[in-house]
């Protein structure tokens, strides 16, 4: 029995997608307010999340898991590009510096737990992260590049999928693969539910980053107001 999983995931996560976009961190990002310290911390969190995902999905692929193997497209892998970005932001010793936030730790733990107990549900996380990155990658890259005044792809490799030449064709292939997975409707429902939980995991990471972003914005505004006062002073 085949189910229209691609459509169900798309329709079933619309609300979560909107909620994620409305978090303070993402909302600011989309408006071009990107602070480098907060952004590099996001890159660090994503590194731990993708490392866990690619480790577990890689093992399941190697073992020929019937549901996970078909979606384990290696051209989607992000760990290597995130390592390049972390090297750019933190330097040669980045491995000794970066640590996951509590929300990222929870996210990573969820991935490992699912791989052990219900690996099929990793489809929800795979869809939420990778297809989201592929779909909005170039837009977010351009925003970040302009806001942080970066040159070329330095610090922005995460958004580049070197092994995918035709994004539209690849997404069509991915959707077709989702629809051909050997699952029933009950499992499809559980995967959609887990995809929504994946959005929650991401939102928790965004909310942790909001504090440092707000502090940075406040610092900039304070500096601007202080300079304005000095300029306007009659003393």
* Average pLDDT value for residue range 136-158: 92
Domain 5-232 in this protein, CATH class: mainly alpha
- Supply the mean pLDDT for the chain: 90
End-to-end Cα distance, the chain: 81
pLDDT digits (tens, 9 = 90+) for 206-235: 998 886 655 444 443 434 343 444 545 444
Q: Give the tokens for residue 160.
A: 């580049």
User: 43 versus 34: which is more confidently predicted?
Assistant: 43
> Is 81 in contact with 160 (CB distance < 8 Å)?
yes
pTM for the full predicted model: 0.89
Measured distance CA(188)–CA(174) in Å, rounded: 16
SS in 3 state form for 139-180? HHHHHHHHHCCCCCCCCCHHHCCCCCCCHHHHHHHHHHHHHC
Coil/strand/helix, residue 114: helix
Residue of 88, 44, 39, 82 whose CA lies nearest to 209: 39
CA 33 to centroid of chain Cα atoms: 18
pLDDT digits (tens, 9 = 90+) for 159-209: 999 999 999 999 999 999 999 999 999 999 999 999 999 999 999 999 988
């Amino acid at each position: 029995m085949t189910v229209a999983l691609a459509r169900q995931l798309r329709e079933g996560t619309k609300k979560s997608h909107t909620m994620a976009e409305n978090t303070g961190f993402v909302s600011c990002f989309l408006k071009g307010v990107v602070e480098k310290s907060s952004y590099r911390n996001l890159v660090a969190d994503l590194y731990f999340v993708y490392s866990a995902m690619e480790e577990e999905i890689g093992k399941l692929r190697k073992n020929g898991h019937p549901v996970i193997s078909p979606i384990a497209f290696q051209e989607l892998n992000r760990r290597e590009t995130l390592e390049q970005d972390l090297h750019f932001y933190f330097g040669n010793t980045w491995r000794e510096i970066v640590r996951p936030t509590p929300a990222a730790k929870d996210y990573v733990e969820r991935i490992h737990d699912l791989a052990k107990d219900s690996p099929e549900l990793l489809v929800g996380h795979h869809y939420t992260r990778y297809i989201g990155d592929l779909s909005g990658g170039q837009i977010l890259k351009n925003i970040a590049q302009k806001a942080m005044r970066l040159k070329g792809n330095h610090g922005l490799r995460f958004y580049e999928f070197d092994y995918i030449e035709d994004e539209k064709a690849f997404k069509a292939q991915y959707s077709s693969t989702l629809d051909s997975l050997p699952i029933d409707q009950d499992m499809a429902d559980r995967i959609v539910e887990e995809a929504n939980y994946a959005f929650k995991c991401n939102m928790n990471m965004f909310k942790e980053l909001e504090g440092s972003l707000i502090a940075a914005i406040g610092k900039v505004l304070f500096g601007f107001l202080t300079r304005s006062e000095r300029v306007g002073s009659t003393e």
